[in-house]
Amino acid sequence: MIEANVSVKLVDTIYNVLSGLEKESPRLFYQALLLLDTGVKPNSLTAEQYQAMTVTADRYEQLKKQSKLAHMLDQEAHDIFNDVLKNGVLYRMEKNTDDGI
Q: Structural domain tally of the chain? A: 2
pLDDT of residue 38: 93
pLDDT of residue 82: 81
> Distance from CA of residue 21 to its chain's centroid?
14
pLDDT of residue 98: 66
pLDDT of residue 31: 96
- Residues 66, 76: one domain? no
Task: Please list the ranges in the chain whose pLDDT falls under 70.
Answer: 68, 91-93, 95-98, 100-101
Q: Where in the sequence is the domain holding 13, given as residue range(s)? A: 2-70
- Residues 45, 61: one domain? yes
Alpha-carbon distance values, 100 to 49, 76, 86 (Å)? 36, 16, 21
pLDDT of residue 33: 95
pLDDT of residue 12: 97
